[in-house]
Amino acid sequence: MQNKWGYVAGIATVVLTISSAITGLLDLKIASVALVVLAGLSATLVLITGKLSTTQLSNIEKNHIAKKPSSIHKDSIANAAEHKRVSDNDENANKESAKTTAENLDNKHFDEESGLLSKSFFPVYLEQRITAARRTLRPVSLVIFELDGLDTNDSRSPSDRDFYISAVGDVVKRTLRESDCAFRVDENIFAAVMDDTTESGAVWAAERVRGVLHTGALAGRVTVSAGVACYPSHCLEPSELIDSATKALQAAKARGVDQVEIAAEQ
């Protein structure tokens, strides 16, 4: 805009200079006619200059508007891709951490009868997974299994009890994913900690364990009841998660043997 008016002022100066020269050389009548002609020429040049400037400005604005959405779109795609890359890296690191932790344990952390991790390591591991889940914003599910009818007052022989504990421990271990960890937390109670698993996924895993026990040599000989709780939908602390899954197990047993129950919402 400033360049346009500077140009107009220059034209006006030239017009006045020429007019003064003509007035000195010609008589007044001829000078007046020339002045009118030059004034018309000046106005025409101003209009042309203004039109060109407006056209140039319009083209610049159009180009800017045309480029702006494209730039925003590219930035959005780049940001989304980066967010997904970080999220995927966190998820993979979380799963790898869970797998590595279980693989690097000493034999003292394993239960000999069931072949699963021992109850001494259970609360420590669960707290680790909840801490990791808070950082990655991923769910963690806990399933607590209990062998139906196999309590301390059961009349079965010790060899039968050992067989059922070993068989169920093996089924639980083979049914879960590599990133999941299973524990024997009591005489006839097992627990499974599952990273990046919602309550529906945990129920599906518990149902798979029940389904395997219904087939083969174990069919009709042993069943399990299970309670499911999930972080963060049911509770936020490891101890609360254990309590919620235990209450869900008790609700499943109240319905009868061979049942799976989900913890109540809090």
What pLDDT digit, counting tens, does each position of 39-64 carry?
555 555 545 455 444 555 455 445 54
Q: What is the largest CA-CA distance in the chain?
A: 139
- DSSP element (H, E) containing 215: none
Residue 143 scores a pLDDT above 50: yes
Percent of the chain with pLDDT over 90: 47
3-state SS assignment for residue 126:
helix
Among 127, 69, 60, 56, which residue's Cα sits nearest to residue 98?
A: 127
Model confidence over 97-112: pLDDT tens digits?
555 555 556 667 889 9
Among 227, 230, 233, which residue's Cα sits nearest to residue 195?
A: 230
**Which residues, listed in sequence order, are joined to residue 191 by a DSSP beta bridge?**
144, 183
pLDDT at 252: 96
Q: How confident is the model at residue 249 (pLDDT cuts 50, 70, 90)?
A: very high
Q: What is the mean pLDDT of the chain?
A: 75
pLDDT at 216: 82
Dihedral (Cα; 144, 148, 154, 159), 10-degree rounding: -80
pLDDT at 159: 75
**Mean pLDDT throughout 83-106?**
54
Q: CB neighbours (10 Å) of residue 239? A: 11
Note whether 125 and 117 are within 8 A (CB). Answer: yes
Q: Give the burial class of 225: count Cβ atoms within 10 A of its Cβ; 0-12 exposed, 13-18 middle, 19 or more buried.
A: buried
**Mean pLDDT throughout 251-265?**
93
Residue 126 scores a pLDDT above 70: yes
pLDDT at 219: 87
- What global pTM score does this model have? 0.62
Q: CB neighbours (10 Å) of residue 140? A: 26
3-state SS assignment for residue 44:
helix
